[in-house]
Structure 1
Amino acid sequence: MLNQKKFSYITKGYGHPLILLHGLMGGLSNFKYILDFFPKKGYKVIFPSLPLYKMPLLLTNISNLSKYIMEFLVRIKVRKVTLIGNSLGGHVALIVAKKRLDLVHSVVLTGSSGLFEKSIGYNFPKRENYEYIKKKSQEVFYDPKIATKELVDEVFNIVNDKKKVIRTLYLAKSSIKYNMSRDLSMITQPICLIWGKQDHVTPPEVARLFHRLLPKSELYWIDKCGHVPMMEHPEIFIKILEDWLSKLNLNNENYFCKI
């Protein structure tokens, strides 16, 4: 039996479950607007905190993160969910969707890894240089002002924490190694791709390749937008997502959620 105490999560609202999956160095703040909006529209929004820095080092990889989410969904007795993943979280969502068709109704990917991503400093050659970390953090966005001092401080603290930075490197390398180009044709759930036109981490050609390889995918673009669209253009992102979800007949899906 799984131990519920191992899971850390936030839940809000009632209705069809939306599971939010953050990326490396991501967190709840990435999904603030989704968490505020969708519970008012008849959805249950669930944010599990991924144990990026809590797994044993040799088990710190994207496969085990995906197992963690599958265990989490089973533990809270939920099925036919919509997974919403950014960056590494999108990669996790794809693995879970492939392996557990019974748990996953649909998937939303934004700036997802899984095919190709450009390094945003995984080797951290100047990790003690605050201005360097600030510049790298700003490069994630089209508008550098989105990288607030609070966000930069958080990244700076992570990359200067030896245990955290080692696990970040392990996860980044495992993500690159776990290429899903041969798996995507087997993922048959509806997929919504929401991409920043100026994403330099997972560039537009990555979105187009996802769209071509995923059988039931739809691709939407947001202009003047980088790697984290739900932070940079939350109103546009939410509009696209709400319209797409409305087409899925989610009220007719049979799901149960314990929490």
Structure 2
Amino acid sequence: MKTLLCLAACLLASSAALAQNADIFGHPLPAQKHTRVFGQEIAYYDMGTAKAGEPVLVLLHGYGSQADVDFGPSLPLLAKHYRVIAMDQIGAGQSAKPLIAYRVQTYVEFLAEFLRTQGITHFDLLGESLGGWTAAAYAQQSLTSGSTLPKPTRLILEDAVGFSVPENVLSSNAGVHFSVSTVGDVVTGLRAVFYNKSLITEEVARRRFITKLAADDAMATSAFTGNPAVRGEALGEKASTITIPTLVVWGAQDTLVPIATGQAFAKAIPQAKLVTIDESGHIPSLEQPQRFVKVVEDFLSTK
């Protein structure tokens, strides 16, 4: 009996250990939750607790990434003061990857349905890179007269694409590009993302390669970059109809999406404020989590 009890305890301990996730630096994260959206499985983190009357903070990661990569180091910091929900968007991370022609509107509609299924009506919306494009498009549509979409209280765009359509995203051969295939590819990608190249250790590259292989997202990312319909989804001057308080936060050394894009968003959105984070490349929430969270919390605490 003691042996059986010990074995059961060991199995439970092993299951608990397996349920734990980690960011690419190896810091622990809780297990993801799962739900069905349009019949497809969506994985997400749900951390922290919202104070009475406070909005939920919903996070959307960037292209070819997932929640625990883009936001991993920032999630525990944000969860100290907010209820934070960070989705693996459809076609990414541990969420389902149906064979469809992905476009920004796909992500917008999955976000809307996710919010509906979770009963979330009072929320702030934060998107990084392609997630920022989705967040801005969702906000713009939700604020259109007659829209039934739940409206975000505030909007945060982190190094967001989508004011115009970046040519390096929709190149002529993008549809046949199947993402990374070696650790060396991962290092090349990380070098484009990080300002501080010393963060790209062998262990970080190995962890990112493991998450990328597990995501199995090559077909989904290629479907997006090869979809000509995306060219018509740039926000442009439609961003001027986003009439909620907006923070545009940018890595000062972002070489993937120039600060001019952030300036364009900030100029077009009436209530937008632009803040840059020094010593950061394309993903401040990953490279400078303490500074990023401070900027976000300062914005969210402003009444």
Give TM class, smaller chain.
0.7 to 0.9
Q: For residue 166 of structure 1, what is the amino acid of its counterpart? A: M
Q: CA RMSD in A?
A: 3.0
Do 2:178 and 2:222's aligned partners in 1 also have CA atoms closer than 8 Å?
A: no
Q: Does 1:198 align with 2:233?
A: no
Query: Residues 152 and 71 of structure 1: is their aligned pair in 2 closer, same or farther, counting only changes over 3 Å?
Result: same
Distance in structure 1 (CA, Å) of the matches to 2:102 and 2:203: 26
Q: Which has the higher contact order (CA 8 A, sep 6+)?
A: 1
Select the residue among 91, 94, 105 that pairs with 2:133.
91
**1:165-191: per-residue Cα shift (whole Å, max 9, x none)?**
232122235595221103201111111
Do 2:38 and 2:113's aligned partners in 1 also have CA atoms closer than 8 Å?
A: no
Q: For residue 188 of structure 2, what is the amino acid of its counterpart? A: K
Q: For residue 233 of structure 1, what is the amino acid of its counterpart? A: Q
TM-score normalised over the length of structure 1: 0.82
Query: Residues 235 and 126 of structure 1: is their aligned pair in 2 closer, same or farther, counting only changes over 3 Å?
Result: closer
Distance in structure 2 (CA, Å) of the matches to 1:169 and 1:30: 20
**1:118-141: per-residue Cα shift (whole Å, max 9, x none)?**
638956599546434422321111
Which secondary structure does the structure 2 equivalent of 1:40 belong to? coil
Distance in structure 2 (CA, Å) of the matches to 1:125 and 1:33: 27
Deviation (angstroms), 1:156: 5.1
Distance in structure 1 (CA, Å) of the matches to 2:100 and 2:39: 23
Aligned length: 247
Distance in structure 2 (CA, Å) of the matches to 1:61 and 1:98: 16
Do 2:38 and 2:110's aligned partners in 1 also have CA atoms closer than 8 Å?
A: no
Correspondence list, 1:62-211, <5 A: 62-101=104-143, 102-115=150-163, 116-117=165-166, 119=168, 124=177, 127-128=180-181, 130-149=183-202, 152-153=205-206, 164-174=217-227, 177=231, 178-211=233-266
Do 2:56 and 2:123's aligned partners in 1 also have CA atoms closer than 8 Å?
A: yes
Query: Residues 73 and 149 of structure 1: is their aligned pair in 2 closer, same or farther, counting only changes over 3 Å?
Result: farther
Q: For residue 219 of structure 1, what is the amino acid of its counterpart? A: L
Query: Residues 171 and 2 of structure 1: is their aligned pair in 2 closer, same or farther, counting only changes over 3 Å?
Result: closer
Select the residue among 276, 284, 297 that pairs with 1:221.
276
Do 1:159 and 1:165's aligned partners in 2 also have CA atoms closer than 8 Å?
A: no
Q: For residue 91 of structure 1, what is the amino acid of its counterpart? A: W
Distance in structure 1 (CA, Å) of the matches to 2:186 and 2:230: 22
Deviation (angstroms), 1:103: 2.7
Q: Report which of the two structures shows the higher radius of gyration computed on alpha carbons.
A: 2
Q: For residue 114 of structure 1, what is the amino acid of its counterpart? A: G
Q: For residue 10 of structure 1, what is the amino acid of its counterpart? A: Y
Deviation (angstroms), 1:235: 1.1
Distance in structure 2 (CA, Å) of the matches to 1:5 and 1:62: 17
Which secondary structure does the structure 1 equivalent of 2:247 belong to? strand
Do 1:117 and 1:203's aligned partners in 2 also have CA atoms closer than 8 Å?
A: no
Deviation (angstroms), 1:227: 0.3
Query: Residues 47 and 133 of structure 1: is their aligned pair in 2 closer, same or farther, counting only changes over 3 Å?
Result: closer
Do 2:178 and 2:218's aligned partners in 1 also have CA atoms closer than 8 Å?
A: no
Do 2:97 and 2:217's aligned partners in 1 also have CA atoms closer than 8 Å?
A: no
Number of the residue aligned with 1:238: 293
Q: For residue 241 of structure 2, what is the amino acid of its counterpart? A: M
Number of the residue aligned with 2:33: none
Correspondence list, 1:12-23, <5 A: 12-15=47-50, 16-23=55-62
Number of the residue aligned with 1:6: 41
Do 1:194 and 1:220's aligned partners in 2 also have CA atoms closer than 8 Å?
A: yes
Distance in structure 2 (CA, Å) of the matches to 1:212 and 1:38: 27
Number of the residue aligned with 1:32: 72
Distance in structure 1 (CA, Å) of the matches to 2:79 and 2:202: 29
Do 2:177 and 2:222's aligned partners in 1 also have CA atoms closer than 8 Å?
A: no
Do 2:179 and 2:218's aligned partners in 1 also have CA atoms closer than 8 Å?
A: no
Which secondary structure does the structure 2 equivalent of 1:20 belong to? strand
Q: What stretches of structure 2 of length at least 5 have no aligned partner?
A: 1-35, 144-149
